[in-house]
């Protein structure tokens, strides 16, 4: 079959050549020209994905994600980075990962398999903007009015719940288990990397409880995976531990990993995660 070539020439990433499986030669050849500001860890991600994601649709999707890393919009960059990082972590946990092709119909981003069992993952990143940060959330007073240091944490919780509701609409037609992964690189949701991030203090157990309540209304969503990169966890006010939530906290010095990562399973899910799925996902925490 005639060779099909896909080329992206972003000024800051690389050139990609893809082939179909039935054509001779290697499946893909990547000529990398990475700028110094890109961390070496991205090289590891790309090399691992190159070895394990050998199907044609994955090559096309990865090419587009690499292109988006050079986009001027920080939201586009962070969303692409979150998808690449999560796929790498899942492969290291022993799953077979396929990047699903983009289409006009809103679908999940990744298909993951453990043996004959499969589940899907939708990946999203929340970055916000300076303009949105100034908008009040209905029913929540501003800091000056409330004087509560955890008020920003409450606002962040409300916006996480809103994103879960928004993304759940596009995943309603799946019969297999579906996980929504939310990456929050900057908890103040100011949008850009300029300026010093504002420290957001948050009761992460309370967040897990709020997400659990929201998930009970969304039976087609099996679980939510949340990565909070710079949040400051508050001492929990609740003595109870949620059986459906796994929460991992790290010190602020472990900057290569999210400060808090949590997996919250839906107790009312119509398609529950299999034990093998659950064990593999927990390894990514």
pLDDT > 90: percent of the chain: 30
Which of 1-10, 66-75, 116-125, 239-248 has the highest mean predicted lDDT (pLDDT)? 116-125
Nearest to 80 by CA among 54, 49, 112: 49
H-assigned helices in 127-238: 130-133, 143-146, 151-168, 204-215
- The C-alpha atoms of residue 80 and residue 21 are separated, in whole angstroms, by 25
What is the per-residue pLDDT for 191? 58
More confident residue, 179 or 255: 179
Which residues are CB-contacts of 216 (< 8 A; sequence separation ≥ 6)?
266, 267, 268
Using the predicted structure, report yes or no on whether residue 171 has a pLDDT greater than 60.
yes
Using the predicted structure, report yes or no on whether residue 281 has a pLDDT greater than 60.
yes
Using the predicted structure, report yes or no on whether residue 160 has a pLDDT greater than 90.
yes
**Each residue of 62-90: pLDDT tens digit?**
888 888 888 888 888 889 989 999 999 99
What is the per-residue pLDDT for 195? 58
**Each residue of 187-235: pLDDT tens digit?**
776 655 555 666 788 889 999 999 999 999 999 999 999 999 888 888 8
What is the per-residue pLDDT for 66? 83
- The C-alpha atoms of residue 113 and residue 95 are separated, in whole angstroms, by 6
Phi-psi region of 115 (alpha: psi -120 to 50; beta: other; left: phi over 0): left
pTM of the full predicted structure?
A: 0.77
**Each residue of 126-151: pLDDT tens digit?**
987 544 444 444 444 444 344 454 57
Using the predicted structure, report yes or no on whether residue 19 has a pLDDT greater than 80.
no
**Number of C-alpha atoms within 13 angstroms, CB side, residue 161?**
19
What is the per-residue pLDDT for 104? 64
Using the predicted structure, report yes or no on whether residue 116 has a pLDDT greater than 70.
yes
Work out the pLDDT band at 56, boundaries 50, 70, 90: confident
**Each residue of 29-45: pLDDT tens digit?**
333 334 444 556 677 77
Placement of tokens 């990143």 in the chain: 125
Using the predicted structure, report yes or no on whether residue 262 has a pLDDT greater than 80.
yes
- The C-alpha atoms of residue 147 and residue 143 are separated, in whole angstroms, by 5
Q: Which residues of 193-212 are buried (b: 16+ CB within 10 A; e: fewer)?
A: eeeeeeebebbbbbbbbbbb
Mean pLDDT of 161-171: 92
Q: Which two tokens stand for residue 93?
A: 């946990």
């Amino acid at each position: 079959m005639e060779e099909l070539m896909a080329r992206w020439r972003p000024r800051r990433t690389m050139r990609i050549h893809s082939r179909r499986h039935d054509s001779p030669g290697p499946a893909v050849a990547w000529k990398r020209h990475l700028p110094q500001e890109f961390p070496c860890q991205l090289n590891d991600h790309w090399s691992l994905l190159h070895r394990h994601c050998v199907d044609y649709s994955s090559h096309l999707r990865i090419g587009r994600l690499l292109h988006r890393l050079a986009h001027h919009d920080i939201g586009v960059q962070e969303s692409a980075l979150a998808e690449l990082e999560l796929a790498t972590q899942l492969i290291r946990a022993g799953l077979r990962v396929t990047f699903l092709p983009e289409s006009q119909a809103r679908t999940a981003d990744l298909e993951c398999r453990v043996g004959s069992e499969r589940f899907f993952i939708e990946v999203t990143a929340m970055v916000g903007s300076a303009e949105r940060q100034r908008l009040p959330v209905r029913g929540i007073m501003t800091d000056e009015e409330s004087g509560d240091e955890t008020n920003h944490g409450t606002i962040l919780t409300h916006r996480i719940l809103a994103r879960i509701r928004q993304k759940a609409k596009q995943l309603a037609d799946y019969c297999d288990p579906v996980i929504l992964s939310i990456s929050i690189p900057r908890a103040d949701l100011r949008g850009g990397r300029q300026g010093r991030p504002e420290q957001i203090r948050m009761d992460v157990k309370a967040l897990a409880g709020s997400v659990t309540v929201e998930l009970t209304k969304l039976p087609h969503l099996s679980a939510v995976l949340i990565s909070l990169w710079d949040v400051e966890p508050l001492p929990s006010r609740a003595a109870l531990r949620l059986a459906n939530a796994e929460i991992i906290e790290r010190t602020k010095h472990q900057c290569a990993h999210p400060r808090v990562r949590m997996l919250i399973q839906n107790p009312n899910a119509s398609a529950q995660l299999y034990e093998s799925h659950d064990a593999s996902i927990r390894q990514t925490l």
